[in-house]
Structures are given as C-alpha cells and as structure tokens.
Amino acid sequence: MATEVLVPVLGESITEATLGEWLKQPGDKVAADEPIASLETDKVSVEVPSPVAGVMGQHAVSVGDTVQVGAMIATIDSGDGAAAAPAPAAAPAAAPTPAAAPEPETTGDTPAALSPSVRRAVLEHGVDPATIKGTGKDGRLTKEDVAAAASSKPATTSAPAAPAAAAPATGGRKEERVKMTRLRQTIAKRLKEAQNTAAMLTTFNDVDMTAVIEARAKYKDLFEKKHGVRLGFMGFFVKAATMALKDIPSVNASIEGDEIVYHDYADISVAVSSPGGLVVPVIRDAQDLSVAGIEKTIGDFGKRAKEGALKMDEMKGGTFTISNGGVFGSLMSTPIINPPQSAVLGLHRIEDRPVVVNGQVVVRPMMYLALSYDHRLIDGREAVTFLVALKNAIEDPTRILIDL
C-alpha cells in the first residue's frame, strides 16, 4: 500500500513552491518524519517530511518543477526496502509496449513540456528526447531517463561529438543556463518593484569607529564569557538605529495607499547570508533589547540561515532594514528599499583614512554610512538628521547607555 506525500502548508499567502532537491531516491528506506525533499519558496527552503515509515516510491515531479500546496509529489510504499529493487526493472519492461510508444514522441517534440532540469540534461548529454521512454508521471521524462539513454547508446552520443570538437577552435568558450531559484526570482521582483514604486534617494555620511572598536577590544572577552556570544558591531548599530528611529519616526514608517503608517516599535530586518543568497530575518521589538540580546538574536539567525532552518514567520514584517556590505569588502553602495519599508541603512567596510580632528590631520578607522529612503515620505532633512543621530551614538557609545 502506498501513502501519498503532499506539499505541506508553507505559510500565509504562499500557495506554491519549486522542488529544489530530492533527498531520497526510489527504493531508499525512509523513516517517519524524515525529510525526503526540499522545496524552495519565495523566502526560504522548506523540507518535506515523510508522513510514514517505509520505502521511497516514485517521484511524481522533477527538480525545478513548480508544485502547489496540497499537491502529491511522491509516494511512500510499505516495506523495508528489500522489495524496492525490482521497481527499476519494471520501467524497461514497459518500453516495448506499443500503446505507450507515441507518448515520448509527443513529449520530445514539445520542449516546453520538459522540466528545466530535464532540458538541461538533454543538452548536456546531447540526446534526442523524442527517442526516450519517459518513466515519470504521465510518461514524462526525468533526468534519470536521459542519463540512462545517454549511457546505453554510446554510438548515438558519438555522433554529436564531431560538431562539439570544433568548439576549441573558437577558444573553448562555454555557456551554462541555470534556472533562477524561486528565492532569487522573488528578490529580483521585489527590488524592481521598489525602484518602480518609491521615489528613492540615498544620503551618505561617515562615522569614526574608534570608540566602538576600543569598547569592543576592552570588553569582548568579558562579554562573550557572560552572554555566550561574540560582541560585534551590529549590536551597536541596531541599538543606535532604534534610538534614531524614535527621534525621526518617518524613517520607521510606511505608505499604505494614501495613508502613512507610523510604528511605535522597531522591527529591524537584518540581511544575513544563506546557501541560497541573502535572506532578511527580523529582530522583533529591537528597541527593547540590549546590545547582548541583539547580538544573540543575530547570531542565531546567521547560524540557522546557513543550515536552511529559518522559519517563514521570522522573515515577515520589519519596519527598517540594516544591510552590512562591509563584511564582503564593500566601500560604498546605494542599498535598495525592502517594500513596504521606507528606508534601509547600508554599512560598509572600516578602513583607516586621514581626517581632521581639532585642527590636526590624524588617521582614524572610518566607515561610510548610506541611507536609501522613499522621498515621498522622508524629506532630505529627516534623512540627514537620522544619519547624524546614528553617527553621534556610534562615535560616543555612552549615548546608547543613557538614551541620548
């Protein structure tokens, strides 16, 4: 008896996803609740667990296919895996059946019917999809079908080799086409939407990092011993930003229709790296957290982002974003707003530069700050005032302690 594996509920307003990877292949033994596939949504990757223990049955969809919530993507057969071995033999046995022959021809003659992963496999192996019997749902081709056809017909694959040999004469240049992940598609769509909707402008300032660097060097060991987390720079910037947002509430506001929504809380979105690209989890009520609490939250986000374990709810909302391109070596940039937010702060690398202090030229560790904002809501005066307030708090961290 086979149990269907369905696409789980992925979160509010999310109705579909892309199959990113199969973690179990047909015939593999599967435990209950063991992940068998990975789905890519608009925000994060989600693992699909097996509803029962048994043996992995047939895949109903291929990597790269779009699947709807509630759709069946595979089956789990009862047993311990021993009975699964004959399953691959059943597919070749069906090949001579005359009634099934026309289906692959139709599929092969219609490239649009092939999934992105199968189209890529066809190009890589140089085979004709019309000559291959599909073992997928409704006779569709799978990557395994293409690989099997390529390995079982050496004579067929040798024919395309002659034109391929001419490639080195042009310098051996190659191209590879890879379908954009759903996360990357969503990022592209939202960033372009921000450019098309907001009247975006960027204001710059620089900040002397001497005081923060000295405080970090003096207290980092005690801080880590007491709080169990390293003392970084983001804790200072997030805390200083929450204070500046309280003074300049329009930077923390958003536009909805013909209304301005002001927030009396600061939910700070912070960009962190994940295997699939940058994701932006949210530090809720950051104004109520200490520097230690902020560092703990960011550290937890970073760890789980690398593991692909961030949850949907942790990526929603946010009233203001901080992006630290400095960790990658960026000197200066113009960050793009994350709608429906109205502003984003860009941090950059720290480098020693000559500056004038009390009439003397001295070398100080300086960082450029960039505030991109929606000019429909935020005036230039407010943007500059926000950056100056942030600069003052970082250059004199005592202000953070006494809320000045």
Task: Name which of 304, 295, 269 is nearest 284 in CA terms.
Answer: 269
Tokens 């046995």 found at: 93
Task: Name which of 291, 319, 294, 271 is nearest 393 in CA terms.
Answer: 291
Does a cis peptide bond (omega within 30 degrees of 0) precede residue 275?
A: no
Sheet with 45-49, side-by-side order of all strands: 45-49, 35-40, 16-22, 66-68
Identified catalytic residue from 33, 375, 396, 403: 375
Tokens 């609740």 found at: 33
SS3 call for 346: strand
Task: Name which of 295, 290, 298, 296 is nearest 272 in CA terms.
Answer: 298
Tokens 């939407």 found at: 193
SS3 call for 292: helix
Contacts of 338 (CB under 8 A, 6+ apart): 190, 194, 269, 280, 318, 321, 344
Quote the CA–CA distance of 32 and 241 in Å, as a whole number.
46
| Residue 145 annotated as catalytic | no
C-alpha R_g of the chain? 28
Quote the CA–CA distance of 231 and 219 in Å, as a whole number.
8
Task: Name which of 238, 232, 208 is nearest 219 in CA terms.
Answer: 232
Tokens 């390995």 found at: 151
- Within 13 Å, how many C-alpha atoms sit on residue 293's CB side? 9
Task: Name which of 131, 133, 53 is nearest 90 in CA terms.
Answer: 133
Identified catalytic residue from 221, 285, 288, 379: 379
Task: Name which of 235, 210, 231 is nearest 222 in CA terms.
Answer: 231
Quote the CA–CA distance of 404 and 401 in Å, as a whole number.
8
| Residue 375 annotated as catalytic | yes
Known catalytic residues are 375, 379
